[in-house]
Every structure is written in C-alpha cells, then in structure tokens.
Amino acid sequence: MKYPKIRELVEAIKAVIKGPYTSKFPQEPHKPHPNFRGQPKFNDNKCVGCLACEEVCPASAIAHRDIIDDKENPKRVMIHYTDTCIFCGECEAACISNHEGIKLSNDWELSFFDRKNDSYETIEKELQLCEVCGEVIACKDHLKWIATKIGELAYSNPTLYLSRLRSLGIIDENIISALKDQGRSDRVKILCARCRRETTLTTKE
C-alpha cells in the first residue's frame, strides 16, 4: 500500500481547514486576486483626451471620433474595444494624466451576447475648435492640462491662457469669427497652428 507523503497530508489538512482553492463560480461571483490584470477602464474625470493611449495601444483597442452632438457642442468620443484589448497595460503606462485617465481594473467578466453594441465602452470630452476656421485644436481639458503643466509660460501663448481663463470662468466662451480674415483682431483668440501662423505672419490691418 502506498502511503501519502507528508506534504500531501499537510495540503489535505490545510484544505479541510481553509476550504477549497477553487471558487464556486458561477453559483457565486468569483473574486479575482487584487493584482489580477483585467480590462482597462476610462476615468472620465481624469482623462484629458490627449490620445496618447490610442497611439501606444498594440491591439488598436482604443480609438476616437470627433463629433458635433445634438446640442451643437463639439465632442471627442474616446472608445475602448473590450473584445480586442489584450490587457497589456500600455495605455495606463502612457497616460499623461498621472496614469489615471485609463487604468487596468480587475473586471474579468467580458462575455456578451451582442458584439456590435456591447463590446466597447466610451467617454466624451469637450473639444476646443479654432475660433477662426473651426478646426479641432484639442480637448479643452488637454489645453488646461498643458497650461497648468507649463505654469506662467502659458501666458506667452494666447490659445493656452485664453483656454485657462475660460476654464476658470473669468472670460466668456468663444465666438467663432464670421469674417475668417486672419486679421489683427484675431491674434488674441484661440487658434489652430495654421491660423496662428497666418494671423502672426500675414496679418491684414
């Protein structure tokens, strides 16, 4: 007769005292280990819409769309595709917002019935348009983030300091110029790089 080894006996006694290693899923919800790398989730309050995560994602699981919503507000929709994500964490590592704009969670339950509608998550960020030509410059939160990051240097750039003052509610929201003539009066406006160059180098009086 073959007797159990001491190690096996110890394991058996531990299992009797502590209970089985396996969980009773699906009868009971499974609790993953705290270090489990589950699907990443956007944090609406921290994300500034900079697109760094989209740039580094090796699985193309992050994308964005710039839209005008029902109330005529320009928005950037950040999209995370849960069906193609490989949970590598590159997005969290690259996130400029203290790695908190998108973070791996320990959410592991990813099954769904309707792939077309249930395989992605989105958040929306407000966009800043050029006040002369209406082109997308960046998300408002991103401009605010840059202005805060560079401190008083932001006051050398009208786009940055106007964005900052508007976010603080000190000056009014933008009005897109009807004239689009890149004139002298357009210099102190929130402008895209092309309009900034044209108002600075080829200003009409």
Nearest alpha-carbon partner for 142 in 80, 52, 65, 73: 52
Q: What's the rounded Cα separation, in Å, for the pair 15 and 19? A: 5
Give me the 28-67 binding string for ligand SF4, x by CB under 6 A, dash otherwise: ------------x-x----xxxxxxx---x-x-xx-----
Q: Which residue is nearest to ligand SF4 (CB)?
A: 101
| Closest distance to ligand SF4 from the beta carbon of 161 (Å) | 22
| Closest distance to ligand SF4 from the beta carbon of 201 (Å) | 31
Secondary structure tally for the chain: helices H, strands E: 7, 6
Q: Which is nearer to ligand SF4, 85 or 143 (CB)?
A: 85
Angle in degrees, 0-180, between the axes of helices 140-150 and 158-167, rounded to the nearest 10: 110
Q: What is the token pair recorded at 113?
A: 């019935």
C-beta separation of 80 from 42 below 8 A: yes
| Closest distance to ligand SF4 from the beta carbon of 106 (Å) | 13
C-beta separation of 96 from 52 below 8 A: yes
| Closest distance to ligand SF4 from the beta carbon of 115 (Å) | 17
Task: Say how many residues touch ligand SF4, by CB under 6 A.
Answer: 28
Q: Which is nearer to ligand SF4, 102 or 143 (CB)?
A: 102
Q: Which of residues 71-100 bind ligand SF4 (CB under 6 A)?
A: 78, 80, 85-91, 94-97
C-beta separation of 124 from 68 below 8 A: no
Q: Which is nearer to ligand SF4, 26 or 34 (CB)?
A: 34
CA 87 to chain centre: 16
Q: Which of residues 99-128 bind ligand SF4 (CB under 6 A)?
A: 101-102
Task: End-to-end CA distance of the chain: give it in Å, rounded.
Answer: 104
Q: Which is nearer to ligand SF4, 32 or 89 (CB)?
A: 89
Q: Which is nearer to ligand SF4, 85 or 127 (CB)?
A: 85
Nearest alpha-carbon partner for 64 in 101, 38, 98: 101
- The residues that touch ligand SF4, with contacts defined as CB under 6 A, are 40, 42, 47-53, 57, 59, 61-62, 78, 80, 85-91, 94-97, 101-102
